[in-house]
Amino acid sequence: MANEKFEWGFKKVSVWLVILLTAVTLGAYLGYWFLKERETLKTADKRRLIPVKVWWVFTVLLGISFLHNFIGGAVFTPYGNALFTSFDVIFSFYFLGLLYYSVFRVRDLLEDRYQEDIFKPWLLVLFHVWYLQFKINRLEGTGNEKQSFKEAVAK
User: Residue 9 corresponds to which amino acid?
Assistant: G
User: Residue 27 corresponds to which amino acid?
Assistant: G
- Is 110 buried (19+), middle (13-18) or exposed (0-12) by CB count in 10 A? buried
pLDDT along the chain (155 residues), means of 10: 53 91 90 89 81 91 88 86 91 93 90 84 91 86 50 46
Sequence spans of domains, the chain: 15-143
CA–CA separation, 81 and 46 (whole Å): 42
Predicted confidence at residue 46, as pLDDT, reads 78
Nearest to 62 by CA among 37, 97, 24, 92: 92
